[in-house]
Structures are given as C-alpha cells and as structure tokens.
C-alpha cells in the first residue's frame, strides 16, 4: 500500500507460540483463545488466506484487520477489509493497522503484522 510505514512483523512470536504448544510448554487452551467478537469479525469482515492453521492443521486461517488512531473518530477500533484501507489511507493523516490471523475451527489467533497508514508526513528516517 502506498503509504505503509513502520511495519512490525510478529512472525517470530508466532513461531515461538506454536513451538511452545508442540513442546508441551503451552496448552491448546493457551493459544486457541479467540474471543467471540474476534470470531464474529473473522466470519463477517475476515479475508480468507491459503495459510493452514498451525494448530489444528484442518482449516485455513482468516485475516482480520483492525484500525486505530485518534484521527479516525468512530472508525477507530473497527474491523475493515483491505479495500477500505486504501480509501482511508487517502482520507486520514495517520492511523495504525493490526492484522490478526484467526482459525474459525479451533479459535487460534495471533497478531501477524502491524503498520501505519495515512497521508500524513512521511517518516524522516536518519534525519535529526
């Protein structure tokens, strides 16, 4: 996306959670704890993926995207589909996007990535 910046990938944390489950240090209840609201958001606003759930390995995970930011007003905290983000990136100065993968079968959920969008000034990396 044209204004995407300050990207944080949570892949290492995901691998650690899955490894803990498979090694017995964590239980399935510890990692498959999606709240009913998140499962509902996955059903209605989620975007299907081709990635198999790392826990049950029966269903593909669904990405649920949430937006947060002072400039969003009533839209803050809502689940959005990717096509809405493009319009929002042009309409708002700066807001943070969080993408959560959810398995609607076993309730696995994990934050996969977060980033900033918006038409505000670009980050000045390396400048004092």
Give the model's pLDDT for residue 111: 97
Give the model's pLDDT for residue 124: 54
CA distances from 54 to 11, 39, 48 (A): 12, 17, 15
- Tens digit of each residue's pLDDT (9 = 90 or more) over 65-115: 999 999 999 989 999 999 999 999 999 989 999 999 999 999 999 999 999
| HEC string for 12-23 | HHHHHHHHHHHH
Which DSSP symbol is given to 58?
S
Give the model's pLDDT for residue 59: 96
Q: Where are the domains of the chain?
A: 5-117
Integer Cα distance of 54 and 43 in angstroms: 19
Which of the four pLDDT bands, split at 50, 70 and 90, describes residue 35?
A: very high
Integer Cα distance of 93 and 118 in angstroms: 5
55, 33 contact by CB (below 8 A): no
Which of the four pLDDT bands, split at 50, 70 and 90, describes residue 4?
A: confident
pTM assigned to the model: 0.89
Within 8 A by CB and 6+ apart from 45, the residues are 64, 65, 79, 80, 81
For residues 121 and 126, which has the higher predicted lDDT (pLDDT)?
121
- Tens digit of each residue's pLDDT (9 = 90 or more) over 8-34: 999 999 999 999 999 999 999 999 999
Give the model's pLDDT for residue 3: 73
Give the model's pLDDT for residue 119: 86
- Tokens standing for residue 13: 């944390």
Which of the four pLDDT bands, split at 50, 70 and 90, describes residue 62?
A: very high
117, 4 contact by CB (below 8 A): yes
- Tokens standing for residue 2: 């044209």
Integer Cα distance of 120 and 84 in angstroms: 18
């Amino acid at each position: 996306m044209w204004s995407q910046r300050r990207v944080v990938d949570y892949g290492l944390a995901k691998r650690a959670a899955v490894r803990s489950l498979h090694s017995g240090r964590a239980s399935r209840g510890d990692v498959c704890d999606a709240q009913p609201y998140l499962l509902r958001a996955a059903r209605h606003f989620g975007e299907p993926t081709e990635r198999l759930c790392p826990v049950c390995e029966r269903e593909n995970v669904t990405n649920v995207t949430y937006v947060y930011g002072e400039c969003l007003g009533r839209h803050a905290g809502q689940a959005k589909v990717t096509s809405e983000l493009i319009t929002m990136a042009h309409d708002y100065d700066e807001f943070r996007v969080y993408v959560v993968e959810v398995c609607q079968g076993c309730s696995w959920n994990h934050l996969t990535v977060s980033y900033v969008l918006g038409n505000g000034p670009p980050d000045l990396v390396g400048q004092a």
